[in-house]
Amino acid sequence: MVFPGASFPRTFQMQNHFVLEICVESVACAVAAQRGGAHRIELCSDLPTGGITPSAGLMTVARKHLRLPIHVIIRPRSGDFVYSASEFEIMKDDIRTAKQLGMNGVVLGLLDANGNVDVERTKRLVDLAHPLPVTFHRAFDVSGDLEEALESVIQTGAQRILTAGGRLSAPEHLVGLAQLVKAAEGRIAIMPGGGINARNVVRILRRTSAREIHTSLGASAPPFSSHRGSTRLNGAGNHGAHRLLALEENVRTLMGLVAGMAQGPG
């Protein structure tokens, strides 16, 4: 099942509005983000390590409960982004599964042994994912020269790059992000991500001229909590109700700020 407007043409076109993507690792958090007004969900497992491919079950149930486009991360393990032949096969199979289960886009990133964008294998995955759009994730930030990496990702046919400008968080290098947006010249979307919240989102959008933004807003939670020396599971799929309400409200606040940006200077 693919929702109207969920997939995009392979050639990136500038948007007339801002897009807020929320990264989550559970259906409960995805639903909370949807209630808060998010435009798109990035779905993964093991968010604290940067995210790995979610199970088929998680994709299936998320699709059942969400109206929003879901972009799923394709990453067979945590750690570096240089993948073996068997790991590459896993990525291909996971893309096929994502398409079969109604996902609306995939998120991936491959580097070669020298730390550069693996253009040839990334392009093969982009072609396999078609017609779903592909986001090249923050493997980009640990590649070599970022402007060279930008041109390499464009060669693969990916639609966007998720990046903090080569730093740990987007607010650390707004100048670099702005340079990437300018260098992209509308050929690919540059989506800032990392450390973005209500305190800095307007500044980031204004300084970089980006039209899409990515954040988790604390969607990850420890699986266990301790009480009087014992360990017990948190509720709501390891996310307590108060955390889900907080996530929903944080998304709603961010959406209000982003909507205000779309309407022009206040």
Query: Tens digits of per-residue pLDDT, 93-111?
Result: 999 999 999 999 999 999 9
Please tell me the distance from the alpha carbon of residue 233 to that of residue 175, in angstroms, as a whole number.
43
Please tell me the distance from the alpha carbon of residue 166 to that of residue 187, in angstroms, as a whole number.
20
Give the pLDDT band (50/70/90) at residue 260: confident
Domains of the chain, first to last: 19-222+233-262 (3.20.20.380)
Task: Output the pTM of the full model.
Answer: 0.87
Give the pLDDT band (50/70/90) at residue 223: very low
Tell me 54's DSSP state: P
Through-space distance between the first and last CA atoms of the chain, rounded to whole angstroms: 39
Beta strand 230-233 pairing with 224-227: antiparallel
- When pLDDT is averaged across residues 226-251 and rounded to a whole number, the result is 67
